[in-house]
Amino acid sequence: MPTPCVSVLMTTYNGAATIGASIESILAQSFRDFELLIVDDGSADDTPAILGRIRDPRLRVLRLGSRGGIVAARNHGFAAARGKYIAPLDHDDLSDTERLGHQVAFLDANPDVVLVATEIRIAREGKVAAPDHPTAGDPLALRWLLLTDNPLTWSSVMFRADAVRRLGSFLRPDFELADDFDFYHRLLGVGAIARLEEVLTTYRYHAANASLARAEALNANAARVLCRVYAPWLGDAAPKAAELVIRYLSDRQPVPDAATLDRIGGILERLLEQFCAAHDLSAADRRRLGGLAGEAWWRTARGGIRRGVRGMFGRYRVRKVLTADFSPAPGDAAAAIAIGAVRRVFETGVRRGS
**Same domain (yes/no): 289, 198:** no
Q: Does 344 fall in a domain?
A: no
pLDDT of residue 54 exceeding 70, the answer is yes
pLDDT at 323: 97
**Per-residue pLDDT tens over the stretch 102-138:** 999 999 999 999 999 999 999 998 899 999 888 999 9
Prediction pTM value: 0.94
Q: Express each pLDDT in 198-241 by its tens digit.
A: 999 999 987 666 555 588 999 999 999 999 999 999 999 999 99
For the chain, the domain total comes to 2
Kindly tell me if the per-residue pLDDT of 343 is higher than 80: yes
Same domain? For 20 and 152 the reply is: yes
- Based on the fold, state whether residues 142 and 232 are members of the same structural domain: no
Three-class DSSP category at 98: coil
Whether residues 84 and 198 fall in one domain: yes
Alpha-carbon span 105 to 98, nearest angstrom: 11
Q: Does 238 share its domain with 310?
A: yes
Residue 5 DSSP symbol? S
The Cα–Cα gap between 72 and 290 comes to 39
- The Cα–Cα gap between 90 and 74 comes to 10
The span from the CA of 16 to the CA of 49, in Å, is 9
Q: Please state, in angstroms and rounded to a whole number, the distance separating the CA atoms of residues 159 and 165.
A: 11
So what's the pLDDT on residue 219? 96
- Coil/strand/helix, residue 192: strand
On whether both 143 and 256 belong to a single domain, the answer is no
pLDDT of residue 192: 98
225 in the same domain as 199: no
Rounded to an integer, the average pLDDT of 159-187 is: 97
Q: Are 135 and 119 in contact (CB under 8 A)?
A: yes
Q: What is the CATH number of the domain that holds 164?
A: 3.90.550.10
Q: Same domain, yes or no, for 24 and 90? A: yes
pLDDT greater than 70 at residue 353: no
Q: Is the same domain home to 273 and 132?
A: no
Task: Give the model's pLDDT for residue 344.
Answer: 86
288 and 204 in a common domain: no
What domain range is 34 assigned to?
Answer: 6-213
Q: What is the reported pLDDT for 350?
A: 58
Note whether 244 and 306 are same-domain residues: yes
pLDDT digits (tens, 9 = 90+) for 13-36: 999 999 999 999 999 999 999 999
Q: Among 162, 181, 213, which residue terminates a domain?
A: 213
- Return the CA Rg of the chain: 22
pLDDT of residue 321: 96
Q: Do residue 198 and residue 229 come from a single domain?
A: no
- The torsion angles phi and psi of 353, rounded to 5 degrees, stand at -70, -30
